[in-house]
Amino acid sequence: MGKFVEKPYPVRHLPDIRDLIRYGQGHFADRIAYEDRHIPGKAERRKITYRELADDVNALGTALIHRGLKDRKIAVMSENRYDWVLSYYAVACGVGVIIPLDRELPPAELVNLLSRARASALIYSKKQKKTVEAAVADLSFVEYLIGMDDDVHQWRNLSLQALLEEGRQLLAEGDRSYLDAELDPNALMGIYFTSGTTGKSKGVMLSHRNITANVENMLRRMHIDTESKILSVMPIHHTFEFTCSIITCLSQGSCVCFADGLKYIQKNLKEDDPTVMLGVPLVFETFHKRIGTAARLAGKEEKLKQGMKLNAILQRFGMDRSRKLFKDIYNIIGNSIQVFIVGGAPMDPQIIRDFRVLGVNMFEGYGLTETSPIIAMNADYREKPGAAGAPLHGTEIRIDDPDESGVGEILARTESRMLGYYEDPEETAKVLLPDGWLATGDYGYMDEEGFLHVTGRKKNVIVTKNGKNIFPEELEYLLNKSDCIKESVVWGDEDEQLGDLIITAEIVTDPDFVKDLTEEEIQRIIKEEVEKVNSSTTSYKRIRKFNIREEEFEKTTTRKIKRHSLDLKRPAEEVKDNG
C-alpha cells in the first residue's frame, strides 16, 4: 500500500486546558459535557453542561485560592466521576499543581506519594474515605482533606460542595484572583505517578501543552465531534483515559459518560448509548470471547461465521449490514457503539478484523505516560491491524541500535515529551536524551509502510547465553489466543545444568472452558496449547516448562500484570520438543 500519508482533519490550536473550558463555555454552552451517577441514593444520571462546567471550575478554583492553596500541590483520588474532572480542572487552570492518584492505593503507598509530593490538600470520594483517614492522620503538611460526598467537621476537612458555594459567593463579590490567574502552558501542571508494575513509581511531570499538543495530533487522525459520546471505563488518573477520552471530548464539545465500574461496562454500553469506548486489550478480548461463547451456547456459531463472511464481502463494496445481521451481538455491546480504541498493550489483529466485520471500527495506538501519552496511532482513513500505528503529526520515532531483524529500543521526539521525573534527576537523565529524544524502554521496529510495531518491554526481555533476545509478551500473546487460557506470564528460569535460562510459563486457565474437566484433562489440553505455540516459533523461543494456576495474576488498575510482585514457582511440567 505504500508509505503512510497524513490526511489530517482540521484541528483548532489548543494552547492549554483552560482555553478548552472557556471555548466550551462560549461555543457548546448548553451541550452536555458529562454524565455520571454519583448522587447518593439516586439512580438517574446527573448531567452537566459546558456552561455549568465552566461555572463550577471558576467557583472551586476561587475558593481554593481563598483558602491559601495558590501555587500548592493538590491531589485527587476517586473513581471516575464528574467531581474528579472538576477538581483536576480547577487546580490545574489557575491554582497550582494537580496530582492524580490511583483510587486503589493502599494506605502505606498513599502516605508515600503524598509525602514525596508534599501535597497540601487531598480531594477524595466516599469510597476512598477509610484509606484516606488511615493514611493522612499523621501527615501534618496535608492542610485540607476535601470530601466529594460528605459534609465533614474536623479542623482540616472540607466539603467540595461547600467550597463550590463559597467560591460562587466570592465571585459574586468581585473576587477575580482565579479568573485573572496567569497560566504558563509550558510550566509544570501535573505530576502523574506511574503504576509501578516493575518497582518504585516515578512522578511524571507534565505541562498543559504536553497534553493539548497530544490531543491536537490525535484529532488529526480520528474524527470526534459534538455528536460523539465516550464511555469512560479505564481509570481516570491514567493519561491514556484522561488525555484520549476526557480532554479530547472537552476540546470537541463531546459528552463523556462515566461507567459505573468495570463489571458494568456491558450494562452501560446498552443503557447510555455511547459511540466510542477506550480500553486495554483485556477488555475487548473479554467481549470477543463472550460473543463467541454466546453464539456457541445458542447453537448459532455456524450462523455467526456465515454472517461474518457475508458482511466482510459487502463491506468491500461499501455496504455494511452488521446491524441487521448481528442483532444478538449488539445486545452484548450496545446498539450505538461505533468505535473501540485500544492501547496499553498489543492487540490481536484478528480480533480487530472481527470487530470491523461486526460493524465496530477498532483502532490501536501506542504511547506512555512520559509522552502524554500517544506517539503512534492508526487513523480512521488508514490503518493496519497488528501495528501500533504511524507516528503522530509532529512526532518523530527512530529505532535505536536495531538487531538483524530491525528490532531495537523505540525513541521518540515530540512536543508531548514530559518535563522530567519529579525530584529524580538520575532517572530523568536515563530517558531524556540529547536533541529532544526520549527513550521509551520498549522494543519495536518500523515496517516498510511507516507503521510502528511494539515487541515488548526492555526490562522484561529474556537474554539467553547466546545473546538471543526473547520478548515474553510475544509468547504470552500467542498463549492467550487459546480459548482455554485466560492469561499467562512467560519468564526465564535459571537451569544450573545447562548454565542458561529455560523459557517457562505460568498459565491461568479460563474457568468457563475448564469447569467440567478433570485435572488430567486440563493438564493435557494446556500442554497441547503450549506445544502448538512452540510449533509456530523458532527453537530458542520455545517454552520448555509450565505451571497451571487458577487464581488470576495481581494487576494494576489499568489491568497490567504486576510482574515484579509475582511469586513464580519452578514449573514441574516439561514440554516435549518437537523441533
d(C-alpha 385, C-alpha 325), whole Å: 23
Sign (positive/negative) of CA torsion 514, 517, 522, 525? Answer: negative
| 570: CATH | 3.30.300.30
pLDDT at 45 over 50: yes
Q: What is the per-residue pLDDT for 39? A: 62
Grid cell digits, residue 499: 548454565
Give the residue-averaged pLDDT of 40-67.
91
d(C-alpha 126, C-alpha 40), whole Å: 10
Neighbouring C-beta atoms of residue 227, cutoff 10 Å: 11
Residues 6+ apart with CB under 8 A from 85: 34, 236, 246, 256
> Is 548 among the domain residues?
yes
Give the residue-averaged pLDDT of 112-137.
93
CA angle in degrees (0–180, nearest 5) for 38-42-43: 85
> Is 247 among the domain residues?
no
> Are 470 and 451 within one domain?
no
Query: Residue 144, SS3?
Result: strand
> Are 31 and 168 within one domain?
yes
> Are 417 and 471 within one domain?
no
> Is 554 among the domain residues?
yes
Q: What is the per-residue pLDDT for 565? A: 66
At which of 183, 209, 224 does a domain end?
A: 183
* HEC readout, 290-329: HHHHHHHHCCCHHHHHHHHHHHHHHHHCCCCCHHHHCHHH
Over the Cα atoms of the chain, what is R_g? 25
Give the residue-averaged pLDDT of 29-45.
81
Give the residue-averaged pLDDT of 216-220.
96
Instruction: Supply the DSSP symbol for 518.
Output: -
> Are 156 and 116 within one domain?
yes
Q: What is the per-residue pLDDT for 573? A: 59
At which of 128, 157, 183 does a domain end?
A: 183
Q: How confident is the model at residue 199 (pLDDT cuts 50, 70, 90)?
A: very low
At which of 407, 435, 458 does a domain end?
A: 458
Query: Residue 113, SS3?
Result: helix
> Are 360 and 477 within one domain?
no
Least reliable range by pLDDT among 120-134, 357-371, 561-575: 561-575
> Are 424 and 550 within one domain?
no
- Look at phi and psi of residue 329 and say left if phi exceeds 0, alpha if psi is from -120 to 50, else beta: alpha
Q: What is the per-residue pLDDT for 541? A: 85
> Is 96 among the domain residues?
yes
Write out pLDDT tens, residues 351-366.
999 999 999 999 999 9
> Is 141 among the domain residues?
yes
> Is 233 among the domain residues?
no
> Are 558 and 540 within one domain?
yes
**H helices within 182-280, ranges in order?**
208-219, 239-241, 248-252, 265-272
Element (DSSP H or E) covering residue 339 = strand 339-342
Q: What is the mean pLDDT of the chain?
A: 90
Q: Which structural domain, as residue segments, surrounds residue 38?
A: 17-183
CA angle in degrees (0–180, nearest 5) for 469-471-476: 150
Residue bearing the bigger pLDDT, 520 or 168 = 168
What is the share, in percent, of the chain residues with pLDDT greater than 70? 93
> Are 437 and 479 within one domain?
no
Q: What is the per-residue pLDDT for 47? A: 95
Alpha carbon distance, N-terminus to C-terminus of the chain: 36
Using CA atoms, how far residue 32 sits from 39, 250, 474, 490, in Å, is 17, 11, 42, 46
Q: How many domains does the chain have?
A: 3
Give the residue-averaged pLDDT of 133-138.
87
> Are 434 and 473 within one domain?
no
| 382: CATH | 3.40.50.12780
What is the share, in percent, of the chain residues with pLDDT greater than 90? 64
pLDDT at 310 over 60: yes
pLDDT at 575 over 80: no
Q: What is the per-residue pLDDT for 461? A: 80
Grid cell digits, residue 72: 500548592
> Are 353 and 408 within one domain?
yes
Write out pLDDT tens, residues 498-557.
667 888 999 999 888 888 888 898 899 999 999 998 988 888 888 988 989 888 888 877
pLDDT at 164 over 80: yes
Grid cell digits, residue 312: 466482510
Q: How confident is the model at residue 197 (pLDDT cuts 50, 70, 90)?
A: very low
Q: What is the per-residue pLDDT for 562? A: 79
d(C-alpha 342, C-alpha 354), whole Å: 14
pLDDT at 285 over 90: no
pLDDT at 150 over 90: no
> Are 301 and 423 within one domain?
yes
d(C-alpha 391, C-alpha 444), whole Å: 13
Give the residue-averaged pLDDT of 399-409.
92
Residue bearing the bigger pLDDT, 494 or 162 = 162
d(C-alpha 363, C-alpha 140), whole Å: 47
Q: What is the per-residue pLDDT for 579? A: 46
Residue bearing the bigger pLDDT, 494 or 472 = 472
Which residue is it, cell 497524513? 6
> Is 364 among the domain residues?
yes
Give the residue-averaged pLDDT of 391-407.
94
Q: What is the per-residue pLDDT for 477? A: 85
> Are 308 and 402 within one domain?
yes
> Is 116 among the domain residues?
yes
Sign (positive/negative) of CA torsion 453, 456, 461, 464? Answer: negative
